[in-house]
Amino acid sequence: MTKKNYIIYIAFLIASFGYIFNFDSAIISSSIENLALTFKISKKNIGFLITISLFGSLAGGMLSGYLSERIGRKKTIIYSLINFIIGGIITSFSINIYFFMFGRILMGLSLGSVFLVGSIYITEVSPSESRGKNGSISQLLMPFGLIFGFFIVYLISNYVTNDLIISNSWRILFLFETLQVLIILFLFLKVPESPRWLFFKGNKSQAILNLGFFLPEKQINKVISQMKDSNNTSVPRKKITINKGLFLVLILATIFPFFRQLSGINPIIYYAPQLFKEFSIHTVTGYYQSIFMGIFQILGSFISLFFIDKWGRKVLLFIGTLGVALSLGYITYSLLLKEKNPFEIYSLYFYNFTYTFSLGTILTIYISEILPTNIRSLGVTIFTFLNYVFDIILTQIFPIIETKTSYLPFLIFFITSTFLLIFIPFIPETKGKTLEDIEKYWDNII
């Protein structure tokens, strides 16, 4: 296998984490009725069983940032996958609600961990000319997790007639999910550790050896020289000097989650079926229209995949955010006039399309790129933590605001996205630059 094909293989392997994340969402949301019957609880109270894994993901994301610095990117991912398999088995064979909740917490911890550390790993091992494309593959596979998950559920509910199998279908689904993670674990065991983490920890010989798996020979010496320049061995490893450039990087890692979530993506996705029913002048169910949202998400993923390393991060981020703002502006205008028309629905499709390749994909890659190696885990942890916090807050307050004034939340989303448009031209471009070049840029800011 050539080095170019090997890095693509690694990118798809890392992307499988996002696929599993969405596959898990599909099967848990489709198992509500059977879980309620199995554990003899009301559907109203079963919502906690769904969200408990999200709290686990939040904790997993925070813990994995520390672990990936201490024991490495690869070991953190491997231990997280093993933990997921244990949690999946406990969940599948739960004899009561408490075993189920414990298993789901373990699964959530692992999902949050591999999702965060995986983005760090692929950023650190990718050549500068294909780093954006490799990171975009994760976003491309995520919708397929939902599609495949719902397809398996569809097959069971429409073609299985045995009542015992149907009532325990959630156990089969979680076992199938666990089996997929087991396969991913075996494949990941042969993946080399991040050379940049090894170099930062002082294992220079192994770092140089591992670079050979990913980079052409002509680039290895250049990257080694740059890593030596960016790692001052006279400074203690545990000491981090917060200069002006590093301070600005941490500010970006803090405010970008605010802009991302206040563009309204998660409230819009969570309440999409309800919004489609409200917007539509026809009696078409919101479920089928939500499927088109997934299709446009896939199309948006292809945009970032093919153009991120050609046009650059800033161009795509600006174009996508402009599309997001225009969509939200039109939806706000239509709701204010209280006139139903099909262009509201088309605006939601366009919103999901432009968000996917900009604030969804590009922003995640950009944050991983601009953070120096010595604080990359910390910065991505902050970014991920705030994403979850803003997600939880907005998801809870959106229906409250929307029921009182339907256009107000969309107006807030529109204003936030417009403000971000003004901000984007002032951030530095990272296209075609090595991570060490980017780090040097921040060091030179006085």
Q: Of 365 and 157, which is predicted with more confidence?
A: 365
Q: Which residue has the tokens 């490893």?
A: 237
Q: Rounded to whole angstroms, how far apart are CA atoms 79 and 427? A: 36
* pLDDT number for residue 384: 81
254 with 190, same domain: the answer is: no
State yes or no: pLDDT of 420 exceeds 50: yes
* pLDDT number for residue 279: 67
Tokens coding 90: 């406990």
178 with 252, same domain: the answer is: no
Confidence band (pLDDT; 50, 70, 90) for 241?
low
Q: How distant, in Å, are the alpha carbons of 31, 79, 82, 87, 319 from that of 105?
A: 17, 15, 14, 8, 38
- Side-chain half-sphere exposure of 235, counting CA atoms within 13 A: 13
Span 116-140, average pLDDT: 86
Q: Which residue has the tokens 């989303």?
A: 413
State yes or no: pLDDT of 92 exceeds 90: yes
CATH number at residue 332: 1.20.1250.20
Q: In whole angstroms, what separates CA 372 from the centre of its chain?
A: 20
pLDDT in tens, 175-232: 999 999 999 999 999 999 999 899 888 888 898 898 888 887 777 877 888 777 766 5
For every residue of 192-255, which 3-state class applies, written as one string?
A: CCCHHHHHHCCCHHHHHHHHHHHCCHHHHHHHHHHHHHHCCCCCCCCCCCCCHHHHHHHHHHHH
Average pLDDT, the chain: 83
158 with 261, same domain: the answer is: no
Confidence band (pLDDT; 50, 70, 90) for 335?
confident
* pLDDT number for residue 237: 46
Domain contains 411: yes
State yes or no: pLDDT of 284 exceeds 60: no
Span 354-370, average pLDDT: 89
How does DSSP classify residue 332? H
Confidence band (pLDDT; 50, 70, 90) for 286?
very low
Domain boundary among 200, 232, 261: 200
Confidence band (pLDDT; 50, 70, 90) for 155?
confident
Q: Please, what is the Cα angle at 372 between 4 and 126, to 5 degrees?
A: 5
* pLDDT number for residue 45: 64
Domain contains 236: no
Looking at 58-72, 175-189, 227-241, which range is the least confident one? 227-241
Q: What percent of the chain has pLDDT over 90?
A: 28
Q: Rounded to whole angstroms, how far apart are CA atoms 380 and 257? A: 11
* pLDDT number for residue 234: 38
Q: Rounded to whole angstroms, how far apart are CA atoms 77 and 94? A: 25
Name residue 397's amino acid: I
106 with 34, same domain: the answer is: yes
Q: Rounded to whole angstroms, how far apart are CA atoms 334 and 344? A: 7
41 with 178, same domain: the answer is: yes
Q: Which residue has the tokens 């605010």?
A: 258
* pLDDT number for residue 61: 82
Domain count, the chain: 2
Q: Domain residues for 292?
A: 244-443
Confidence band (pLDDT; 50, 70, 90) for 289?
low
User: Any residues with CB less than 8 A from the CB of 154 and at least 6 apart, and which?
Assistant: none
Q: What is the pTM of this model?
A: 0.79
* pLDDT number for residue 239: 53
Domain contains 213: no
Domain contains 276: yes
State yes or no: pLDDT of 133 exceeds 60: yes
* Burial (CB count <10 Å: 0-12, 13-18, 19+), residue 44: exposed
295 with 192, same domain: the answer is: no
130 with 24, same domain: the answer is: yes
168 with 286, same domain: the answer is: no
pLDDT in tens, 368-406: 888 887 788 788 888 888 887 887 777 667 766 766 677
Q: Rounded to whole angstroms, how far apart are CA atoms 311 and 446? A: 29
Domain contains 233: no
Q: Are 373 and 317 spatial neighbours (Cβ–Cβ below 8 Å)?
A: no
Q: Of 283 and 435, which is predicted with more confidence?
A: 435
Q: Rounded to whole angstroms, how far apart are CA atoms 274 and 285? A: 9
pLDDT in tens, 264-281: 887 776 566 566 666 665
Domain boundary among 200, 217, 252: 200
Domain contains 235: no
Q: Are 117 and 64 spatial neighbours (Cβ–Cβ below 8 Å)?
A: yes
Q: Rounded to whole angstroms, how far apart are CA atoms 422 and 98? A: 49
Q: Of how many residues is the chain composed?
A: 446
